[in-house]
A and B are shown apart, each in its own frame.
Chain A
Amino acid sequence: MVKTKTDPVRWLKENLFSTPGNAVLSIVVVLVVGLFFKSLLEWSFTKARWAVIPANFRLLMVGPYPLEELWRIWASLIAISLAAGFSWGTSTREQPLPRAPFVLLGAISLLALVWQFGNPSGTLVPVACAGLVAGVFIGRAIRTENRIHYFLWTALFFVCVILIGFDFGRGEVPSSLWGGLLLTVLLSVVSIVASFPLGVLLAIGRRSKLPVVSGFCIVFIEVVRGVPLIAVLFMAQLFVPFFFPPDFPQLDKVARAIIGMTLFSAAYMAENVRGGLQSVPSGQDEAARAIGLSATQTLFLIVLPQGLRAVIPTIVGQFIALFKDTSLVEIIGLTDLVGIGEAVRNNPDWLGVTREIPITLGVIYFIFTYSMSLAAKNLEQRLKTSN
């Protein structure tokens, strides 16, 4: 990191040419990287057919979701922006307003307005951005307790799931029509949320002094962690219906995938939570018991709140991993982001277009996972300083 403005020659000398070996290394690297970027740029401006992306953009985002029902997704998106803005606003109330994010939001809005003028996204993207900004100001203005965020986001989670799938007089949108990025996000969010309580229970069970309980939890956790996700997904597709009574309504493919991913994720969640519980010193438990709290009270009032707080960054990390892992549902035939991408790549209209799709998918995944990992780092720093 360069803190003060030093002159470029000195900077080059210190950072690239400090020793003869370093100088040779620098020159070789510049040549190789330069060659790589040259051919990449050449390809992407002359040979690449980027038109495949805008032509299939809606498919990549929402898959075969019906056009006339798209308002449901826009409504969810705007609600989420408002809530995100609100949470961001309340948590940074004491700090001065940063300018960069607003400039970015403005730029996105403007771009959408110009590029998609007349299309729904031309107006709705700016509305979502405005919602985010409005949320920030509301959050800064209103004094709230921290607890409100849990309620807000839990409520929002259910509202969005209902909004996306349920019947509002014009029929429901079956999960077979969910696709693209929408399905990817839904799968990962629903699985991580569902795996959280299960993982906490397993972690508590594994720490139990009762050998039968801890033994059961250890076996479950270790077996699931020893098996690849793809095997779990296939098993869920094939065998979940077997475990329900024959007259039970058939679970669709998405639901089975969610069951598989939830069980898979719960085992990893359990290990993360266990790490958090172990970080709570045993003195806490003793002090709680000494003032007469019962074992259950001690767990829920003293140990869990501290343990979970310590592993929030790890859980974000697990969510990132799960978000990437949802791509495996493509192999069992779901139309998530990768599934749609493969469908487009195999479309005869776009014969010979091979690199553009995976590169775009990579960029989309990267934007999500990288920003989440930055958020996790930020959170970790904040947790460290607040203790």
Chain B
Amino acid sequence: MNLTKKDLSNAPKIIVVEHLNKFYGTFQALKDVSLSVQQGEVVVVIGPSGSGKSTFIRCLNRLEEHQSGRILIDNTELTNDVRNIDSIRRDVGMVFQSFNLFPHLSVLENITIGQIRVKKIIKTEAEKIAMELLERVGIPEQAKKFPGQLSGGQQQRVAIARALAMKPKIMLFDEPTSALDPEMIAEVLEVMKELAKSGMTMVCVTHEMGFAREVADRIMFFDHGQIIEQATPEDFYNNPKSERAKLFLSQILGH
């Protein structure tokens, strides 16, 4: 079954999730979720709010702990093993809805702190890498400023640079544009598109349908903690199979 646009038939599976279950008390947030993502693939996760899509990607780097099932990132299983958790966190970058930049550190320090403290790179080298990344996201002139002095869009671009500085194999995006004013969404999406073109494996939770159509290799539709449907963007938008997906699409596109 061809679910993706790109030809990734030879690419290794970099994320494998099997029968994942997650509970908050008695509420089941994720129900028997299984999927795999290949290297270089861009997966966009959509679904109504409270459908478990955020919980799902937060499980991928252990910001949330799952109760049963397995998660394998680049052939390393996410277990209680500290060493595995540390190595997976190093391989997986994450961008948050509310940026979560460190307000007491300058933009440059935000990007270097992980390199220096986790990867033990010397400061000058780390700063060089940071400046290159700031160049890449288009705001090298903001390096000395503090996050509070930047616009939302600029902050989110710094957050992307901060994640990229760790040289991750996978990037997770948790609604990266939901907290932004409309005029700033474009600049962040531009950076994400560029990143996708460069061959980064990406899992994005987003409502940006334009972005999904243009960049995604695969759309994954979540509802009530389950994957309801997986398809290429064309298939999904043009003829969704499930009733719930049809309803969801009519609600977000129908206005």
Contact = CB atoms under 8 A, between A and B. Distances in A.
B166 A291 contact: yes
B73 to A, nearest CB: 13
Interface in A269-320: 281, 283-284, 286-294, 297, 301-302, 305-306, 309
A301 B94 CA distance: 19
Interface string B98-118: 101111100000000110011
A281 B100 CA distance: 9
A290 B113 CA distance: 12
Contact of B61 (A288, A290, A309): A290
A387 B103 contact: yes
Nearest to A387: B148
B96 A283 contact: yes
B181 interface: no
Nearest to A282: B100
A297 B117 contact: yes
Contact of A287 (B102, B117, B165): B102
B63 A286 contact: yes
A283 B104 CA distance: 14
Interface string B212-226: 000000000000000
B163 interface: yes
A283 B100 contact: yes
Given A290-B63, A292-B90, A283 B114 contact: no
B93 A290 contact: yes
A241 B18 CA distance: 63
Contact of A301 (B93, B103, B117): B117
A292 B89 contact: yes
Nearest to B91: A292
B125 interface: no
Interface residues on B, range: 20 to 34
B157 interface: no
A100 B240 CA distance: 75
A contact face: mostly helix, strand, loop, or mixed: helix
A172 B119 CA distance: 51
Given A284-B102, A302-B102, A290 B94 contact: yes
Interface in A223-269: none
Contacts of B159: 287
B194 interface: no
Contacts of B92: 290
A106 B118 CA distance: 54
| Residue of A292, A293, A387 most packed against chain B (CB within 10 A) | A292
B100 to A, nearest CB: 4
A371 B132 CA distance: 49
Contacts, number: 60
Given A283-B98, A302-B102, A387-B103, A292 B148 contact: no
B86 interface: yes
B162 interface: yes
A306 B114 contact: no
A62 to B, nearest CB: 41
Nearest to B82: A294
A150 to B, nearest CB: 15
A289 B89 contact: yes
B104 A306 contact: yes
B15 to A, nearest CB: 16
Nearest to A306: B104
A291 B162 contact: yes
Contacts of A306: 102-104
A307 to B, nearest CB: 10
B90 A286 contact: no
B102 A290 contact: no
Interface in B51-95: 61, 63, 86, 89-90, 92-94
Contacts of B165: 291
Interface in A306-350: 306, 309
A302 B104 CA distance: 8
A284 B93 CA distance: 15
Contacts of B94: 287, 290
Contacts of A293: 113-114, 117-118
Contact of B163 (A291, A294, A305): A291
Nearest to A291: B114
A80 to B, nearest CB: 29
B42 to A, nearest CB: 20
Contacts of A288: 102
A284 B96 CA distance: 10
Nearest to B62: A289
B132 to A, nearest CB: 17
Interface in A83-105: none
Nearest to A386: B148
B86 A287 contact: no
A284 B118 CA distance: 17
Contacts of A287: 94, 96, 100-102, 159
B35 to A, nearest CB: 21
Contacts of A292: 86, 89-90, 114, 118-119, 166
A286 B117 contact: no
A238 B223 CA distance: 67
Nearest to B87: A292
B103 to A, nearest CB: 7
Contacts of A297: 117-118
A43 to B, nearest CB: 54
17 contacts: A283-B100, A286-B63, A287-B102, A287-B159, A289-B63, A290-B63, A290-B94, A291-B93, A291-B118, A291-B166, A292-B86, A293-B113, A293-B117, A297-B118, A302-B102, A305-B104, A306-B102
Given A287-B96, A290-B163, A293-B117, 10 more contacts: A283-B96, A283-B100, A286-B100, A289-B89, A291-B113, A291-B165, A292-B114, A292-B118, A293-B114, A306-B104
Question: Which 6 pairs from chain A and chain B are nearest by CB?
Answer: A287-B100, A291-B114, A283-B100, A290-B94, A292-B118, A292-B89
